[in-house]
């Protein structure tokens, strides 16, 4: 059996199952849907990932886009096998919780080394950054009022995760202030 897809590979494959796209269009969709908040797909890695998916027989070139002076762009679409693999991998990703490795936990594990004033500053900076991320995800969601239900679910899940972290952070900061 072939090794499982990475989250980045599964994300791109899913976008190509939706409809054939070229690399620039994939990047535009990733940006518009706020996927950079939960994927590690940079523009520079899209073509590398497309090559890996193609080499595994999960996608194929279906057309070459671009006219006139525009550079020809390869348009990729999912193969039948790609659709099957994508469905199985997506189902597994939904059904099985997997560990995440947020750097904040690494920082908290070493928290005794941080002077109290600097810790409060770091937590305040995190709170401000979370506020900005919530606003960015909300704006992205609002910019796509006609997005399909599964896209709205992604925005909703992201907002709920961010809200949970904001609640935790608020409580933790209050606890630290009480310990003063």
Across 5-30, average pLDDT: 95
pLDDT of amino acid 179: 78
Task: Judge whether residue 38 has pLDDT over 60.
Answer: yes
| Whole-angstrom distance, CA of residue 121 vs CA of residue 128 | 11
Task: Report residue 36's pLDDT band, with 50, 70 and 90 as the boundaries.
Answer: confident
Q: Hey, which residues does 63 pair with through a beta bridge? A: 75
| CATH C-level class of 7-95 | mainly alpha
> Sorting pLDDT into bands at 50, 70 and 90, what band is 109?
very high
Does this model's pTM top 0.75? yes
């Amino acid at each position: 059996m072939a090794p499982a897809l990475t989250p980045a590979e599964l994300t791109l494959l899913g976008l190509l199952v939706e409809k054939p796209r070229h690399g620039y269009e994939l990047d535009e969709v990733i940006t518009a849907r706020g996927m950079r908040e939960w994927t590690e797909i940079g523009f520079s890695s899209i073509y590398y990932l497309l090559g890996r998916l193609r080499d595994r027989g999960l996608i194929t070139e279906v057309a070459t886009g671009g006219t006139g002076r525009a550079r020809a762009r390869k348009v990729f679409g999912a193969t039948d096998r790609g659709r099957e693999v994508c469905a199985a991998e997506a189902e597994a990703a939904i059904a099985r919780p997997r560990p995440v490795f947020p750097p904040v936990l690494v920082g908290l594990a070493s928290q005794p080394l941080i002077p109290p004033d600097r810790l409060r500053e770091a937590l305040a900076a995190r709170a401000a950054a979370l506020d900005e991320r919530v606003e960015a995800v909300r704006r992205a969601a609002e910019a796509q009022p006609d997005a399909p239900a599964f896209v709205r679910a992604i925005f909703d899940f992201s907002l709920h995760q961010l809200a949970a972290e904001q609640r935790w952070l608020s409580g933790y900061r209050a606890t630290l202030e009480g310990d003063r």
